[in-house]
Amino acid sequence: MQQVVFILKKELQDFFISPIAYIVMTVFLLVTGWLFFSAFFVFDQADMRNFFNLLPMTFAFVIPAITMRLFAEEMSTGSYETLLTLPVTFRDIILGKYLAGLALVAALLLPTLSYPLFISFMGELDWGPVIGGYIGALFMGAAFTGVGLFASALTRNQIIAFITGAVICFALTVIERMLFFVPGALLKIVSQLGASLHFQNIARGIIDSRDLIYFVSVAFLGLYASHLVMQEKK
């Protein structure tokens, strides 16, 4: 377990050494901030529903950009070999990298906490959905980070890792809007696969174990698949 902490620490350090973390954060804050506040004053309502509506889509692109380097960069510089010959298990490596990615997602959300603060000065803000929204955002971030990590483990090319991760996350996000094309028999199953649906449930302030289990399962699948990929690469 200690090894996980060392790897996590090192990966976090790496995020802030490379410009990627700063670029991704800037883009994320700019896009969400502009999209949210440009509509905010039109609706003239003191809530954050619009922000959380946009979040699944922005996360689908921003999180793979964070996770793309985790494995791909190591494989392209060759440091993957040095890492794998240190006394650490695959599990230590995957968990360390995953938690580092998740920590960065949390860091990404941190500045947006100022939005509800400002809004609460302007009107009566119902804090329930806001807290639910942030909890949901963390769980969704956990799921997408797992997917992104898997995409990164597949290739030594960071761009391919980004696109693969973004495509999977995007598909999970929009799947419930495509239900029209799904045959009736599968409808029930497929409708449960969408990330937005589960996220919106939590963001309404209803914390249902089914929604949490969904995100945890996606994250776990991502980590397990990464483990299989590492095993295969030996």
Partner 1 sequence: MIQVEDLTKFYNDLCAVDHISLEIPKGEIMGLLGPNGAGKTTTLRMLTGYFKPTSGRIRIKDHDVDEQPVAVKGLIGYLPESAPLYPGMLVYDYLSYIADIRGLRGEAKIARIRDLVDHCGLHDIMHKTIGELSKGLKQRVGLAHAMMSDPEILILDEPTSGLDPNQIVEIRDIIRAIGQEKTVILSTHILSEAEATCDRIVIINKGRIVADDRTANLKNATGGMRQISLGLQNATEADTLQTLGTLEGVADVTARPNADDGVLDVTLTCRSGSDPRAAIYAAVKATDWILLEFVQHARDLESIFRELTKEN
Q: Which residues bind partner 1 (CB under 8 A)?
A: 3, 6-7, 9-10, 13-14, 17-18, 77-82, 84-89, 234
For residue 170 the two structure tokens come to 């995007």
Residue 167 beta carbon to partner 1: minimum distance, rounded to whole angstroms: 28
Shortest approach of partner 1 to residue 17 CB, angstroms? 5
3-state secondary structure of 18: coil
Rounded distance between C-alpha atoms, residue 114 and residue 100, angstroms: 23
Q: What is the rounded CA–CA span in Å between residue 176 and residue 215? A: 16
In the complex, the smallest distance separating the C-beta of residue 72 from partner 1, rounded to whole angstroms, is 14
CB of 116 to partner 1, least distance (A): 36
Cβ count within 10 A of residue 82:
10
Pick between residue 101 and residue 141 the one whose CB is nearest to partner 1.
101
Residue 104: CB atoms within 10 Å: 22
Quick one: 84 or 193, whose CB is closer to partner 1?
84
* C-beta of 82 vs 217, nearer to partner 1: 82
**Minimum distance of partner 1 from residue 61's CB (angstroms):** 24
Q: Which is nearer to partner 1, 99 or 218 (CB)?
A: 99
Q: Long-range contacts of range 209-215, CB-CB < 8 Å, 24 or more positions apart? A: 211/136, 211/139, 212/139, 214/143, 215/139, 215/140, 215/142, 215/143
Do 22 and 107 meet the contact criterion of CB atoms below 8 Å apart? no
Q: Which is nearer to partner 1, 12 or 119 (CB)?
A: 12
